[in-house]
């Protein structure tokens, strides 16, 4: 984290990716930085992402790579990334977070939902409640309730990042927004 003055906080987040489409990675960076930027009065909170792209050749150096178009062994794939880093990769049936990795699925994903998934990398849990009911031969009924539609972690499609998210990040590193000595 970096402070430029008493009212500006910048959280630097390095991310490693094997997505070699630089324009896609730049769009992800731009959208996440836009959504994870909050101004509240004089206070300005933001994340700043830095992506390091690892080519698939470098990622799979010394081990056999999956054939083009073939399904990948996701666990094996994730273990090839450097330890202790946030990761953005593809290969999921849907988009989700596993540990410090956002795994993109093949479906279209909105910037807000991606920002919600990024929130998990920052340590935030889902704030919605989901329940299931087995309907037998009629399938499975999924019920979901979001207690705060304004919070991106409770309502990924319509919620926003708030000052409270950044206050919680600051508390996690032993600081508070009121602490002007950072």
Strands 140-145, 129-134: pairing is antiparallel
Question: How far does CA 2 lie from the centroid of its chain?
Answer: 20
Each domain of the chain, given as residue ranges in start order, spans: 2-172
Neighbours of 98 (CB within 10 A): 14
Distance CA 21, CA 126 (A): 29
Please give the pLDDT value at position 7.
84
Instruction: Collapse the DSSP code of 181 into the 3-class scheme (helix H, G, I; strand E, B; otherwise coil) and give the result.
Output: coil
Report the b/e string of 44-66 with b at 16+ CB within 10 A: bbbbebebebbeeeebbeeeeee
Question: How far does CA 9 lie from the centroid of its chain?
Answer: 19
Query: Whole-prediction pTM value?
Result: 0.83
CATH match of 2-172 with 3.40.390? yes
The helix (run of H) or strand (run of E) holding residue 173 is none
Give pLDDT tens digits for 51-64: 999 998 899 998 88
Please give the pLDDT value at position 176.
56
Instruction: Say whether pLDDT at 116 is over 80.
Output: yes
Higher pLDDT: 149 or 112? It is 112
Give pLDDT tens digits for 36-90: 999 999 999 999 999 999 998 899 998 888 887 777 889 999 999 999 899 999 9
Joined together, the tokens standing for residue 28 give 């992800």
């Amino acid at each position: 984290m970096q402070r430029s003055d008493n009212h500006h906080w910048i959280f630097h987040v390095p991310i490693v990716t094997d997505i070699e489409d630089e324009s896609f990675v730049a769009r992800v960076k731009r959208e996440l930085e836009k959504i994870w930027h909050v101004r509240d009065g004089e206070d300005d909170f933001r994340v700043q992402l830095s992506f390091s792209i690892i080519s698939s050749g470098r990622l799979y150096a010394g081990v056999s790579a999956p054939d083009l178009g073939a399904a990948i062994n996701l666990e094996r794939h994730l273990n090839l990334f450097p330890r202790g880093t946030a990761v953005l990769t593809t290969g999921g049936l849907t988009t989700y977070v596993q540990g410090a990795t956002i795994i993109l699925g093949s479906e279209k994903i909105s910037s807000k939902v991606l920002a919600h998934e990024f929130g998990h990398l920052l340590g935030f849990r889902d704030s919605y409640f989901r329940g299931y009911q087995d309907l037998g031969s009629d399938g499975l009924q999924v019920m979901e309730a979001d207690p705060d539609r304004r919070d991106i972690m409770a309502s990924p499609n319509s919620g926003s990042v708030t000052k409270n998210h950044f206050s919680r990040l600051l508390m996690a590193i032993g600081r508070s927004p009121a602490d002007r000595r950072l």
